[in-house]
Amino acid sequence: MMNMPAKDTQDPNFRRLLYVRYADDFVLLLICSQTEAFTIKRKISDFLKNHLQLELNATKTTIANVKDGFEFLGAHIIQRGTIIAPVRRAKGTKDGITLIFRSRHVRRLSVSAPLEKIIQKMINLGFARRNHLGTLYAKSRRDLVNLSHYEILSFYNTRIRGTLNFYSFAGNYSHLRKIRWIYAQSCAITLALKYKIKTMRKAFLKFGKKLKDPNSDTELYSEKSMKVKHDYKTRPSYLNEKDSLDKLLSGTNLHTRTQRFANMSCALCTSKTKVEMHHIRSVKDVRLKIRIGESTYSQ
């Protein structure tokens, strides 16, 4: 039975198709010839145009071999070989049992995070750079220097958490440590620039490996375990859109009015429990009164 295939591997009429869709993106996984793949693509294009009045994006719609890999919904999917080794027990003696291992080479689809593409996005957004030799270095965000320590940490924590949650399904999840480390270096260089302590190393020595904010005890986020999760179901509400990772990396996501005071103690009794905050006036109203010269405490 081990030597006999379950199907006729030379059957010219054998076909298989798997269709996966999310919003307006879809992928067809086919076992067929390349000629038939082009025929199916043309029929899909004609159907969308004639029956649904939709145009198939010719530049984004490609035909690829799964052995070369393809991109779908921000993930890189490629066919890889895995080794399955069932244990066979041979006839033993009183002294012990001899074990015989027989392995089978089985191909499976591997779904992983495209690390190089993520790094390139980080370079485009100013978190990192490459020198003339192509070596990757973290880069400061000078546009954040005037923010508070807490706000800078919140800015980076949003991106670290978002990236790790977005790729919780990835087979190379542990490799995302590199992405987190680039963000940590960029944050340290930004804080070094803010406090005028010159180097990233001095920033880590001053605030610790998690760049802790001394006023609010907020730290740079770090995942407890980077083991592979293969979690395809759990998604935060802000990652529902297919292009949410691009928005997460490029957006500001700064809610400074209340969050900057999170975990801080009460100004009157120094308590950190059951503390409530009430905004008695709008920030924009205060700024308006400052511009026109009125007292901010006038009724």
Give the whole-angstrom CA distance, residue 11 versus residue 15: 9
Please report the pLDDT score of residue 295 as a whole number: 46
Helix axes 177-195, 149-166, angle to 10 degrees: 170
Cβ–Cβ contacts within 10 Å for residue 125, how many? 14
The separation between the first and the last C-alpha atoms of the chain, rounded to the nearest angstrom, is 89
pLDDT in tens, 202-255: 999 999 999 999 888 889 998 888 888 888 776 655 555 555 666 667 665 554
Q: Cβ(187)–Cβ(211) under 8 Å?
A: yes
Looking at the chain, how many residues does it have?
299
Residue with more model confidence, 209 or 85: 209
DSSP 47: H
* The pLDDT of residue 3 is above 50: yes
For the chain, the structural domain boundaries read: 1-63, 115-259
pLDDT in tens, 43-82: 999 999 999 999 888 888 889 888 888 888 888 998 886 6
pTM for the whole structure: 0.70
Token couple for 151 = 């706000």
Q: Cβ(277)–Cβ(267) under 8 Å?
A: no
Residue with more model confidence, 15 or 156: 156
Give the whole-angstrom CA distance, residue 226 versus residue 210: 17
39-43, 105-109, 258-262, 270-274: the lowest-pLDDT one: 258-262
Q: Cβ(258)–Cβ(168) under 8 Å?
A: no
User: How far lies 239's CA from each of 155, 163, 221, in Å?
Assistant: 17, 10, 18
Give the whole-angstrom CA distance, residue 24 versus residue 242: 10
* The pLDDT of residue 284 is above 80: no
pLDDT in tens, 166-186: 898 888 899 999 999 999 999
Please report the pLDDT score of residue 8 as a whole number: 77
Q: Cβ(132)–Cβ(222) under 8 Å?
A: no
